[in-house]
């Protein structure tokens, strides 16, 4: 049985400042810490999946700068196969400017750099690797044509496709039809269904919007709802996976740890509900620490949190 998880997506250097509150337009505020962390939605998912016990390959692009080497090495040290992380000599590696407020919420600007030049031609070089995948994890920080082709190759090879439609952009029905699990947060959900970003969804309208996306082709939808958890919508049912109560330090990449853990559990043959609970626990462990790829987060910790949660809810 195939077990490999192939992540096709971005690698970024995250320049992170902590502030009490985000500045208003035109305002300057004084922050209280600055750190550069490895990041990028693709790399975060690859790193997290490897830390949680998956067999993982990363496909993506960096620049020929120091950040590019550092990002690759960080993944490799976690056990991720980086043979298909290529280099582009003409642009810098991707970067993200991230502010974290006192509640652990973030505000992010990304500059794609080499992620933005990762075209279909480079992707095709990893065709055999994609064909060996049980699960392919995708996000939207590389060109959409590349994401589409990756999903197409994955489906052709019989792999399960999990698409994190982040950052929020509209997506074609052709792409949705290749997706087994679509995992938007609320902002991304609003964008996908053409609603204003400020709209406040209640649980019923979230499920209705998710069903719209199913009708457009996505097989299953999991809407990520931050502290409220995540809602799975399939043809037959809806399941709410409540978030675990933990001390929130930094929510950056909670969604990446969620998707990675879901993939690890599904690749190991776990049932959907169990995979969802594992993903919820992994995401909770991630929000308790700073940075998108925290080195000290282990599978043992995730299992321990799950066990504690289950014993208190009995
Ligand atoms: P990001 O873009 O920051 O990576 P996201 O917006 O895609 O994340 P969220 O809904 O914020 O996704 O988080 C994903 C999952 O992480 C949630 O469904 C929930 O299970 C868990 N989670 C998020 N925030 C918290 C929190 N403060 N406490 C516990 N669990 C959380
Ligand atoms: O999902 C979190 C990631 O989004 C950060 O690591 C940052 O690089 C942005 O891509």
pLDDT tens, residue order, the chain (314 aa): 789 999 999 999 999 999 999 999 999 999 999 999 999 999 999 999 999 999 999 999 999 999 999 999 999 999 999 999 999 999 999 999 999 999 888 899 999 999 999 999 999 999 999 999 999 999 999 999 999 999 999 999 999 999 999 999 999 999 999 999 999 999 999 999 998 777 777 888 999 999 999 999 999 999 999 999 999 999 999 999 999 999 999 999 999 999 999 999 999 999 999 999 999 999 999 999 999 999 889 999 999 999 998 887 65
User: Which atom of ligand 2 lies closest to the CA of 37?
Assistant: 6
- Which tokens belong to 243? 């978030």
Cβ–ligand 1 distance for 259 under 6 Å, the answer: no
Closest Cα to residue 120, out of 107, 111, 130? 130
Q: For 160, phi and psi rounded to 5 degrees? A: -80, 135
Question: Coil, strand or helix: which one is 258?
Answer: helix
Ligand 2 centre distance from Cα of residue 173 (Å):
25
Ligand 2 centre distance from Cα of residue 1 (Å):
32
Cβ–ligand 1 distance for 230 under 6 Å, the answer: yes
pTM: 0.96
Task: Give the separation between CA 10 and CA 43, rounded to whole angstroms.
Answer: 6
Cβ–ligand 1 distance for 255 under 6 Å, the answer: yes
Angle, helix 272-287 to helix 254-267, in steps of 10 degrees = 150
What confidence score (pLDDT) does residue 195 get?
85
Angle, helix 254-267 to helix 41-51, in steps of 10 degrees = 50
Does a cis peptide bond (omega within 30 degrees of 0) precede residue 167?
Answer: yes
DSSP code for 227: G
Cβ–ligand 1 distance for 141 under 6 Å, the answer: no
- Which ligand is nearest to the Cα of residue 252, counting in written order? 1
What confidence score (pLDDT) does residue 282 get?
98
Cβ–ligand 1 distance for 178 under 6 Å, the answer: no
What confidence score (pLDDT) does residue 314 get?
56
Task: Give the separation between CA 234 and CA 285, rounded to whole angstroms.
Answer: 27
What confidence score (pLDDT) does residue 295 get?
87
Closest Cα to residue 283, out of 188, 215, 185? 185
- Whether the CB-CB separation of 96 and 14 falls below 8 Å is answered with yes
pLDDT one-digit tens code per residue, 28-45: 999 999 999 999 999 999
Nearest residue by C-alpha to atom 21 in ligand 1: 283
Angle, helix 66-77 to helix 41-51, in steps of 10 degrees = 20
- Which ligand is nearest to the Cα of residue 292, counting in written order? 2
Q: Tokens 């719209």 map to which residue?
A: 212
Cβ–ligand 1 distance for 260 under 6 Å, the answer: no
Q: Which domains does the chain have, with CATH numbers?
A: 4-12+40-93+114-313 (3.40.1190.20)
Q: For 236, phi and psi rounded to 5 degrees? A: -100, -20
Question: Which among 165, 186, 233, 251 is the best mutation to test ligand 1's pocket, defined by most ligand atoms within 8 Å of the CB?
Answer: 251
- Which tokens belong to 125? 């070089």
- Which tokens belong to 202? 């209640």
Q: What is the number of alpha carbons within 13 Å of residue 75 lying toward its C-beta?
A: 34
Which secondary structure element, helix H or strand E, spans residue 282, and what is its range? helix 272-287
Nearest residue by C-alpha to atom 11 in ligand 1: 226
Cβ–ligand 1 distance for 224 under 6 Å, the answer: yes
Ligand 1 centre distance from Cα of residue 245 (Å):
12
Task: Give the separation between CA 131 and CA 119, rounded to whole angstroms.
Answer: 18
What confidence score (pLDDT) does residue 82 get?
98
Catalytic residue flag (residue 256)? yes
Nearest residue by C-alpha to atom 9 in ligand 1: 226
- Which ligand is nearest to the Cα of residue 12, counting in written order? 2
């Amino acid at each position: 049985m195939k077990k490999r998880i192939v992540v096709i997506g971005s690698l970024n250097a995250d320049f992170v400042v902590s502030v009490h509150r985000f500045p208003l337009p035109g305002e300057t505020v004084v922050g209280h810490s600055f750190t550069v962390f490895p990041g990028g939605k693709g790399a975060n998912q690859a790193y997290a999946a490897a830390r949680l016990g998956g067999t993982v390959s990363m496909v993506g692009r960096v620049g020929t700068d120091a950040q590019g080497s550092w990002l690759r090495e960080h993944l490799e040290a976690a056990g991720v196969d980086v043979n298909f992380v290529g280099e582009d000599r003409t642009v810098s590696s991707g970067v993200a400017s991230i502010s974290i407020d006192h509640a652990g919420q973030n505000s992010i600007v990304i500059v794609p750099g080499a992620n933005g030049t990762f075209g279909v031609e480079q992707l095709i070089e990893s065709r055999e690797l994609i064909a060996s995948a049980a699960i392919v994890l995708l996000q939207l920080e590389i060109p959409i044509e590349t994401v589409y082709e990756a999903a197409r190759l994955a489906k052709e090879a019989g792999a399960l496709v999990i698409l994190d439609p982040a950052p929020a952009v509209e997506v074609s029905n052709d792409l949705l039809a290749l997706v087994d699990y679509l995992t938007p947060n609320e902002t991304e959900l609003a964008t996908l269904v053409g609603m204003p970003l400020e709209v406040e969804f209640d649980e019923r309208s979230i499920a209705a919007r998710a069903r719209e996306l199913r009708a457009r082709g996505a097989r299953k939808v999991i809407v990520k709802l931050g502290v409220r958890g995540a809602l799975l919508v399939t043809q037959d049912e809806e399941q709410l996976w409540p978030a675990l109560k933990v001390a929130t330090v930094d929510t950056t990449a909670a969604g990446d740890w969620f998707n990675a853990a879901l993939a690890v559990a599904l690749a190991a043959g776990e049932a959907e509900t169990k995979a969802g609970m594992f993903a919820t626990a992994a995401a909770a462990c991630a929000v308790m620490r700073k940075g998108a790829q925290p080195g000290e987060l282990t599978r043992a910790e995730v299992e321990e949190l799950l066990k504690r949660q289950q014993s208190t809810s009995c």
